[in-house]
Structure 1
Amino acid sequence: MRDLVIPICGLERLFENCLWAEGPAYFAATDCVIWSDIPNNRILQWVEGLGTRPLTTSSNHANGNTIDREGRLVSCEHQTRAVTRREHDGSRTVLATHSGGRRLNSPNDVVVKSDGSIWFTDPTYGILTDYEGERAEPEQDGCYVYRLDPETAEVEPVIKTMEKPNGLAFSIDEKRLYVSDTGVSHLAGGPHHIKAFELGASGRPESESVFAEISPGVPDGFRLDEFGNIWTSSGNGVQVFAPDGSYLGRIVVPEAVANVTFGGAKNNRLFITATTSLYAIYVGVRGATRRKSF
């Protein structure tokens, strides 16, 4: 890990007092980090030197967040069972609520591809209880990964082979999609791994394989660095895996980690949401900047 971390840089706790911190996203234009505190129904914003303030105190129990190609916040809302976008003027646009004429379960995590398509996971965590959403019966036949077409707004299920699809990210060249399955959370002996899906000429997944098993805990959320390494949540910190799936090491965090994102002026600061807190640490690599493969 010495090539990936900086020995003199320690872990900083930037904020605490969350109930379940999730979904960090970094705004380069304003040099700030936002993240969800799901049970408290809020999205928080942290700025260097200024601290933390609520971005909204009515987030519809938002979970995963990302930034689209125009610098807008895209969020997965448990309460409304929707994927939404926060426009530059602060207004809210609903992007997806249904597929096949039926309501989504509870969108969990989201990523935007270079073609503008929005890919998101849809497990049932937000409708299992009232703690992180609103208890309800699922209308979908399963928990899928969806693609939202930027031109037609069609919500298409593209992966149907997972128990509880959760975090997701594209490889740098966008030829591969990584998706975590956290089914062990509600199924004894269930999956706690990251899968790799090879994308065909149509851009849809054509084959799949287990990339890495995560233990202890689950790979709730993850990001790639500039070399294609995966930095993932786990029960004992942030675990790091090489592009071939080999384990490289971990950053110890005193709480179970939910998700991570890269940011900062040089994109070399790892922001970590872990149970009650937002942490940060400077690392020896930069976050990935994806390049589309033609």
Structure 2
Amino acid sequence: MSYFEVHDPRFAEYLIPICNLEKLHTGMRWAEGPVYVADGRYLLFSDIPNNRMLRWEEESGNVTVFRAPSNYSNGNTRDRSGRLITCEHGGRRITRTEPDGNITVLADRYAGSKLNSPNDVAVKSDGTIWFTDPTYGILTDYEGYKAHSETGRCNVYCMDPRSGQLAIVCDDFEKPNGLAFSPDENLLYVADSGRTHDPHAPHHIRVFEVEGGRTLKGGGVFAEIEPGVPDGLRVDVHGNVWVAAEDGVHCYSPDGLLLGKIRTPETAANLTFGGPRRNRLFITASTSLYAVFLNTTGAQTP
């Protein structure tokens, strides 16, 4: 079967006809947070309800447990030194894994109040760490520990790991989720998946202009996502936005036009570009990990 749905001729340019969607692993409860480690040729990803992180080896295809318990880890990325940055529902915090394996807590409170449950994270070239903080991990005991929100809202934050300063950069989201910068870092895309718990809440991606490196301006709707809600997202070198959704991965042009979809058999939660040439799209979708080679590459990441 064909997993590709072309809505605009430009999307066909990013497909390789002989390459199809591959299932690499299954058996998770809710797979999330993929990050490709180029210098090790492996992919790390979270299995949130099972409270573990898994490691998929590119050369062998083997999957092993990387960390368990993982504090109900969700989103992952790497900083500009190659260290793992992780969102933890259980710890309600952002952590960094040091080269020796020790874990450093980067942020767990704002103005004295505990964070909700950090969801997804991106690192700018200046080293600042940007993350979303919805309440998914404290709503039940399934993906974290049920608790009340001490901040009283779901914010997007920017942190300077050198000074430890944590700042709210946007506070008007229902459920901020995936986020990613444009290749030149002048734009920040942030998903709002509020419709997961309210049929009348947002299910769109917003786009902000980044001013002075750490201030956001604008925030208009970039794209409405149907069906379902937008979850994790990434940007390729052409500025196209690839976002996980209920029926697979949607690809939008820089001006917000839906170019096409990669249909997945399960609801897609997150994605990342990887492989030696960054031209392989890895997709965490419900119980499974999928991948497909594309004729485009992800925007530069560590």
TM tier, smaller: over 0.9
2:169 alignment partner in structure 1: 158
Tell me the distance in 1 between the aligned counterparts of 2:133 and 2:285.
21
2:70 alignment partner in structure 1: 59
Tell me the distance in 2 between the aligned counterparts of 1:43 and 1:151.
27
The answer as to 2:266 corresponding to 1:255 is: yes
Tell me the distance in 1 between the aligned counterparts of 2:199 and 2:289.
30
The answer as to 2:55 corresponding to 1:45 is: yes
TM-score w.r.t. the length of structure 2 is: 0.94
- Please report how far the alpha carbon of residue 202 of structure 1 lies from its aligned counterpart in structure 2 after TM superposition: 5.0
1:24 alignment partner in structure 2: 34
Contact 1:26 1:261 in 2 (8 A): yes
- Please report how far the alpha carbon of residue 152 of structure 1 lies from its aligned counterpart in structure 2 after TM superposition: 1.5
Tell me the distance in 2 between the aligned counterparts of 1:218 and 1:113.
25
CA offsets, 1:118-169, max 9 Å, x none?
0000000000000000000110020000011122101111101111000000
2:19 alignment partner in structure 1: 9
In structure 2, list runs of 5 or more residues that go unmatched: 1-10
Contact 1:199 1:207 in 2 (8 A): no
Letter in 1 for 2:38: A
Match among 212, 221, 228 for residue 217 of structure 1: 228
Tell me the distance in 2 between the aligned counterparts of 1:280 and 1:28.
16
Contact 2:158 2:214 in 1 (8 A): no
The answer as to 2:46 corresponding to 1:36 is: yes
Contact 1:76 1:83 in 2 (8 A): yes
What do you get for the CA RMSD once the two structures are aligned? 0.9
Contact 1:229 1:242 in 2 (8 A): yes
Tell me the distance in 2 between the aligned counterparts of 1:152 and 1:69.
16
SS at 2:296's partner residue?
A: coil
Match among 117, 127, 133 for residue 116 of structure 1: 127
Q: How much identity, in percent, do the aligned residues show? A: 53
In structure 1, list runs of 5 or more residues that go unmatched: none
Tell me the distance in 1 between the aligned counterparts of 2:42 and 2:35.
9
Extract structure 1 runs of 4+ deviating beyond 6 A: none
Match among 156, 176, 179 for residue 187 of structure 2: 176
TM-score w.r.t. the length of structure 1 is: 0.97
Tell me the distance in 1 between the aligned counterparts of 2:161 and 2:61.
36
2:5 alignment partner in structure 1: none
Tell me the distance in 2 between the aligned counterparts of 1:201 and 1:119.
15
CA offsets, 1:248-281, max 9 Å, x none?
0001110000000000011100000000001011
Match among 98, 104, 128 for residue 93 of structure 1: 104
User: How many residue pairs get matched?
Assistant: 290
- Please report how far the alpha carbon of residue 203 of structure 1 lies from its aligned counterpart in structure 2 after TM superposition: 2.8
2:276 alignment partner in structure 1: 265
Tell me the distance in 2 between the aligned counterparts of 1:115 and 1:64.
20
Letter in 1 for 2:228: G
- Please report how far the alpha carbon of residue 50 of structure 1 lies from its aligned counterpart in structure 2 after TM superposition: 4.2
Tell me the distance in 2 between the aligned counterparts of 1:2 and 1:253.
17
CA offsets, 1:221-260, max 9 Å, x none?
0101110101110111111000000010001110000000
Tell me the distance in 1 between the aligned counterparts of 2:221 and 2:61.
42
SS at 1:55's partner residue?
A: strand
